[in-house]
Amino acid sequence: MSGELELLKWIHARLGKRSGRIAVDSGDDAAVLKFGRERILFKVDSVLEGVHFRRNDPPEWVGHKALARPLSDIAAMGGVPVGALAALMMPRSMPMARAKLIYRGMEKLGVPVVGGDISTHPGKLAISVSVLGDMRGARPVLRSGAKPGDVLMVTGPLGGSIRGKHLKFEPRLEEGRIFATRLRVHAMIDISDGFARDLGHLCEASGVGATLFGPAIPTMTGSSIKGALYDGEDYELIIAAPPATAAMIDREGLGISVGMVRSGRGIRMYDNDGLVAVIGPHGYEHKLG
Amino acid sequence: MSGELELLKWIHARLGKRSGRIAVDSGDDAAVLKFGRERILFKVDSVLEGVHFRRNDPPEWVGHKALARPLSDIAAMGGVPVGALAALMMPRSMPMARAKLIYRGMEKLGVPVVGGDISTHPGKLAISVSVLGDMRGARPVLRSGAKPGDVLMVTGPLGGSIRGKHLKFEPRLEEGRIFATRLRVHAMIDISDGFARDLGHLCEASGVGATLFGPAIPTMTGSSIKGALYDGEDYELIIAAPPATAAMIDREGLGISVGMVRSGRGIRMYDNDGLVAVIGPHGYEHKLG
């Protein structure tokens, strides 16, 4: 996986020569392109058999996940999804009925699949879904806006998503939209790589550090705090909001406070007995003492 | 392949409940979405090892083809590409250096790759590229606008693309743009499935038939007329233009006349001795006599 990260950074670094239309590039949850006065979000994500789903997972849920993943990125920018394209790469032996069930799973998310591409190949099933979204006049919420003193919040319990949530999660589109408009937050990212790593991405992009209070981090039933920090594929949102906004978010039940943004670098986690973990910029925990 | 076509039609038929933003759906070369007063083109295409390229093909050209294929669809609508997203699904053993060469091949096409997704899996290399384009005020040229009496033209020689052109072709973006603006044609499609089949798609969408004059069809060196009709992956454009426009296109060397649009159904091909072939709506040739 570190090779993939290195490659993404290499690609990202080469994206310097930009046309005037590109407002934010691939470093955020989605690319932002300017079309006249509209800002359009553009994102692709892939799911692969054996990596993101298992051969025996119900095809409707495989389709659901394939579309819900890029939708989660649109949510993390505060956008409204407009349409999707689905590219299916199917094993030659896959029955068409299974492909149809995959599409039905996508349809249920309510975002029109406006096109696609179907290929058969000797390999396993892979699905790439691209999504277009728009901001309807709002400004996209980036990873890079967090400020010292902001409250860090998450939109739901973390950890253990492998037991089902990773396939059946609902992208936080409504919440993300509220955080871009009525209860405007400073920074936002969705949790795909794991809370610690994605918080690390947000902190790195914002040039800040974070202090977490471990017992405040909501965990899924059956998940440990370690699971909540590192499991990944929660598809909840992490937000950084000024305290007054955070209080309103808390009052409306849209987020749970888990810590604060501070100046400096790195993530420090405390429990009732004091400092319990220091998490590096890429989300790897350093053992203490 | 007929299973894929059936599946695409099934998907297409389900796309009835459309949001007001969708002007043209997946039945054309690209989907068209309305954003304010702008019309945005949206297209995905995939290339797979063993299907669209070989393991030993130079990675720069694999990247080139992966992006050039959806660009050819943008060309066939008369649009201007704005940005692309690339999803790479790589075998675990693939060296990062090879992935970088694939990206370099995409870069050379001059369309910014604004984001992407990289996954490793146990299968072969697959690349899905999505492209956004805009019309800059022009109307998209659809498949469905051909009228009896129109001249049918192609933008270059056909057939035998497996000998190299399928990998190294230049998408006809400049020509497509001219055919949407200054020398406005009635209908346009790019040739991916083969001239006969793609002309069949254009005729079917327009509710017309076609008469071809075989000796006028330009063939690549070494290709037979059969190859020109059926090989595919030429990525030239087929256009249907009123005779006065066709004359100007001919004068400027932007297209070669190959036949006429007629009322009725089906494609009939003549040579100097008379009728030589009847091609059904899906591009399959029916033996004569």
Residue A135 backbone dihedrals phi, psi, to 5 degrees: -100, -10
User: Can you give the pTM of this predicted structure?
Assistant: 0.87
Structure confidence at residue A146 (pLDDT): 98
Asked if B119 and A48 come within 8 Å (Cβ–Cβ), the reply is yes
**pLDDT above 60 for A232:** yes
Query: Per-residue pLDDT tens for B204-222?
Result: 999 999 999 999 999 999 9
Query: Per-residue pLDDT tens for A156-208?
Result: 999 999 999 999 999 999 999 999 999 999 999 999 999 999 999 999 999 99
Structure confidence at residue A29 (pLDDT): 86
Asked if B33 and A130 come within 8 Å (Cβ–Cβ), the reply is no
Among candidates A8, A38, A121 on the partner chain, residue whose Cβ is nearest the Cβ of B118:
A8
Residues B88 and A152: their CA atoms lie apart, in Å, by 33
The fold of the B143-286 domain, in CATH, is Phosphoribosyl-aminoimidazole Synthetase; Chain A, domain 2 (3.90.650)
Search chain B and give the residue with CA nearest A24: B114
Among candidates A42, A113, A126 on the partner chain, residue whose Cβ is nearest the Cβ of B89:
A126
Please tell me which residue, A43 or A281, carries the higher pLDDT value: A43
Residues from chain B contacting residue A84 (CB–CB below 8 Å)? none
Q: Which of B128, B131, B132 to mutate to test the interface with A (most CBs of A within 10 A)?
A: B128
Exposed / middle / buried, residue A285 (Cβ in 10 Å: 0-12, 13-18, 19+) = middle
Place of tokens 């699905």: A127
Is the ipTM beyond the 0.90 threshold?
no
Structure confidence at residue A244 (pLDDT): 97
Residues A41 and A29: their CA atoms lie apart, in Å, by 9
> Fold identical between B2-134 and B143-286?
no
The fold of the B2-134 domain, in CATH, is 60s Ribosomal Protein L30; Chain: A; (3.30.1330)
Kindly state the percentage of chain B with pLDDT values over 90: 74
Among candidates A51, A87, A120 on the partner chain, residue whose Cβ is nearest the Cβ of B44:
A87
Ranges of each domain in chain B: 2-134, 143-286
Quote the mean pLDDT of chain A.
90
The fold of the A18-134 domain, in CATH, is 60s Ribosomal Protein L30; Chain: A; (3.30.1330)
Residues B172 and A79: their CA atoms lie apart, in Å, by 33
Query: Per-residue pLDDT tens for B51-90?
Result: 999 999 999 999 999 999 999 999 999 999 999 999 999 9
Q: Half-sphere exposure of residue A242, counting CA atoms within 13 Å on the CB side?
A: 5
Query: Per-residue pLDDT tens for A69-96?
Result: 999 999 999 999 999 999 999 998 999 8
Residue A217 backbone dihedrals phi, psi, to 5 degrees: -75, 120
Asked if A11 and B44 come within 8 Å (Cβ–Cβ), the reply is no
DSSP reduced 3-state for B216: helix
Residue A190 backbone dihedrals phi, psi, to 5 degrees: -100, 155
Residues A228 and A159: their CA atoms lie apart, in Å, by 4
Q: How is residue A272 written in tokens? A: 């009732």
Query: Per-residue pLDDT tens for A128-146?
Result: 999 999 999 999 999 999 9
Asked if B35 and A31 come within 8 Å (Cβ–Cβ), the reply is no
Q: What residues contact residue B80 under an 8 Å CB cut-off, 6+ apart? A: B74, B133, B134, B135, B136, B173, B177
DSSP reduced 3-state for A182: coil
Q: Which of A35, A69, A98, A104 to mutate to test the interface with B (most CBs of B within 10 A)?
A: A35
Asked if B35 and A134 come within 8 Å (Cβ–Cβ), the reply is yes
Quote the mean pLDDT of chain B.
90
User: Chain A closest CA to B27's CA: distance in Å?
Assistant: 8
